[in-house]
Amino acid sequence: MHAQHQKQEMQQAGFSLVEVSIVMAIILLLAIIAIPTVQAYVVESKVPKVGEELARFILHTRVNAAGGSATPYGGIATNNLANMLRDSSVFSISGNASSPTVLHGLGTDGQANVAEAEAGSAFTITLSKVNHAACPSIASVLQRVSDTIVLTPEGGASAVIKDADTPYSALDTEMRCSHGDKNTFVFTVG
């Protein structure tokens, strides 16, 4: 009887390959379901810092604009943004000083670009490939310092979500955003 009991204990000592395979399949399934949620959370958590740094750039640019000039933002470009954000913990800057690439971190390979607008009397900040998890949060943060906001979802029509005649609505903006890294925002400052 004692030998049979030892034999039974030895057979019960570990897990079978089938049991381990089932547990691994369950863990893999849970990971597949959770990864998009975790990615969305990571993107959403970056919005306040990205918005704060862009708002700081806008305010800094407004303060330092050529006062009394009809073209206070003449010649402004992405290199001005890159210069101010060199030490950023959120933005990633690569390339040379005259033509840098500024990645905003709110979507895979999403870029931030600055350009002169309205013959130098205004400028735009364009954020490409913005993930839906950052929409409408980034627009909500920057609507306070932007005169006009245009949203273009990939494959969709551009929509003005804020201007002199259109009050900003976070709910409207959220409805217009496409799922994924497929949204482009253009913030115009004058």
Instruction: Inform me whether the pLDDT recorded for 61 exceeds 90.
Output: yes
Provide the token pair at 112.
Answer: 């931030």
Nearest to 46 by CA among 98, 89, 3, 14: 89
| Average pLDDT of every residue of the chain | 89
- Burial of residue 1, with CB atoms counted within 10 A of its CB: 0-12 exposed, 13-18 middle, 19 or more buried: exposed
Question: What global pTM score does this model have?
Answer: 0.80
> What pLDDT is attached to residue 54?
97
Q: Encoding tokens for residue 57?
A: 């750039």
State yes or no: pLDDT of 1 exceeds 90: no
Domain boundaries, the chain: 16-189
Write down the pLDDT at residue 8.
57
Question: If you compute the radius of gyration of the chain from its CA atoms, what whole number of angstroms results?
Answer: 25
Report domain 16-189's class: alpha beta
The predicted structure's pLDDT at residue 76: 95
> Does residue 78 carry a pLDDT above 60?
yes
Q: In terms of residues, how long is the chain?
A: 190
**Residue 43: pLDDT over 90:** no
Residue ranges of the alpha helices (H) in 12-162? 17-63, 78-84, 137-142
